[in-house]
Amino acid sequence: MTIEYRPPGGDEYLAFLRPIALAMGFPQSEEGAERFKRLIPPDRSIAAYDGDALVGSTAAHAFELSVPGGPVPCAGVAAVAVLPTHRRRGILRELMRRQLDELHERGEFVASLWASEAAIYGRFGYGVASLSGQIELERDRARFFDALQEASPARLVDSDEFLAAARPIYDRLRRDVPGFVSRSEDWWRSRTLRDSNGTQQRVLLDGPDGPEGYALYRTRDIWEDMIPTGRLEVQEALALSPAALRRAWSYLFEVDLIATVDAGFLPLDHPLLLLVSEPNRLHFTLVASLWVRLVEVGAALSARGYAADDAVVFDLRDTFCPWNEGRWRLEDGTAARTDDGADLALDIAGLGSVYLGGFTFGDLVRAGRADELADGATARADRLFATPRRPWTPEIF
């Protein structure tokens, strides 16, 4: 079997999305294909062809990813799939090979993704870099820890007014929270604010100087024996202050005809865990969220900020991208090749796991994913990579 790999033609995006649509059970449409092409153009996409048939795909958004110390360029990998008729033939591996080679040649030194089948991506050097939470809260138990009654100056607005207010709020937050990715106006309109069935509600929370928080949600109208048992699904609720965030959730908890409030993609340190009177009622469930791959180790480590003045030497394994193999000395915020003795030995996926601060080198050592070669090296590396905030990516891509 001869497989050809090349960017899809501009009129081939419906076929390009067929592998991922079949894998995920998504409906396909010309409108959806055009929307995807606006977000990821052909030169950032790779298709696998068996003759004239498009049988596999991968693509990469051009993002900025917030890391400790500031944003870095990042390829947001998406639409990775192979038709079920062409599995076990090395097509996925070759798609990953070509994609990482292209990113390396372009100087995009970090890649990230959400793993629908997590066992796949460790082989290619991706490490789980953050966890997120999902909640399912009975509305009649949605009470805060105190009895403070507060006004919620909330406004339901149209998408244009919402975008004008929400975008600067999001951009201010992403400067400070590792794991946030940049959103273009196209992304906001075609992904975040896409409302195909007219059920999305857009809420702004006003402060003395203008909007300081927002919420996006949908409701599902459900009745049992003439009793409302609807569900409110929170898409996103963000705010610039603790008071505004509390007001956003107060509004969401008070929507009528709702029995259950659901939300996903929440950070592990979400204030709700301390705000509500019965944290167990949140049914807070952990899931793996963002995976990170350092495409060019020296550039990626040098672009990150660090919490201490110290040095550590890594002996790094990276069989899939061998240009990263070897010893790296990280000192004064700069990573460079070295012949010095190594303090820690680990693989590239492990380094991806600690890059955002979602896991520690101590976690890796205890899991058998890294080896401490010099006494005290694990604690020293953890002091360097410490972050004040858990990483959080509030939207899947």
Top-tier CATH class for 4-108: alpha beta
Taking the CB of residue 284, how many other CB atoms lie within 10 A of it?
17
51: burial class by Cβ within 10 Å (0-12, 13-18, 19+)? exposed
E-state strands within 86-145: 110-114, 127-128, 131-138
* SS3 of residue 34 by DSSP: helix
Residues 386/307, Cβ–Cβ less than 8 Å: yes
Structure tokens at 145: 């820890």
Q: Give yes or no for residue 285 having a pLDDT over 70.
A: yes
Least confident interval from 22-36, 81-95, 136-150, 289-303: 136-150
pLDDT in the model for residue 151? 64
Distance CA 274, CA 270 (A): 8
Q: What percent of the chain has pLDDT over 90?
A: 94
Q: Give yes or no for residue 392 having a pLDDT over 80.
A: yes
Q: Is 13 a catalytic residue?
A: no
pLDDT in the model for residue 149? 64
Superfamily of domain 132-287: Gcn5-related N-acetyltransferase (GNAT) (3.40.630.30)
Q: What is the pLDDT of residues 147-203, one digit of tens each?
A: 776 666 899 999 999 999 999 999 999 999 999 999 999 999 999 999 989 999 999
What is the per-residue burial (b if ≥16 Cβ within 10 Å, else e) of 181-200?
bbbeeebbbbbbbeeeeeeb
Q: What is the pLDDT of residues 202-245, one digit of tens each?
A: 999 999 999 999 999 999 989 888 888 899 999 999 999 999 99
Work out the average pLDDT over 58-65. Answer: 98
Write down the catalytic residue from 63, 121, 170, 314: 121
* SS3 of residue 338 by DSSP: coil
Q: Is 397 a catalytic residue?
A: yes
> What sign does the CA torsion over 290, 108, 45, 188 have?
positive
Residues 292/179, Cβ–Cβ less than 8 Å: no
Pairing between strand 127-128 and 230-239?
unpaired
pLDDT in the model for residue 33? 94
Q: Tell me the domain boundaries of the chain.
A: 4-108, 132-287, 297-385
Q: What is the mean pLDDT of the chain?
A: 96
pLDDT in the model for residue 340? 98
Q: What percent of the chain has pLDDT over 70?
A: 99
Q: What is the pLDDT of residues 252-284, one digit of tens each?
A: 999 999 999 999 999 999 999 999 999 999 999
Structure tokens at 32: 């959806």
Q: Provide CATH code, domain 297-385.
A: 3.30.1050.10
List all residues 6 or more positions away from 321 whose beta carbon is below 8 Å from its beta carbon: 100, 104, 125, 295, 348
Domains 4-108 and 297-385 share a fold: no
End-to-end CA distance of the chain: 32
pLDDT in the model for residue 10? 85
pLDDT in the model for residue 153? 81
Q: What is the pLDDT of residues 65-123, one digit of tens each?
A: 999 999 999 999 999 999 999 999 999 999 999 999 999 999 999 999 999 998 999 99
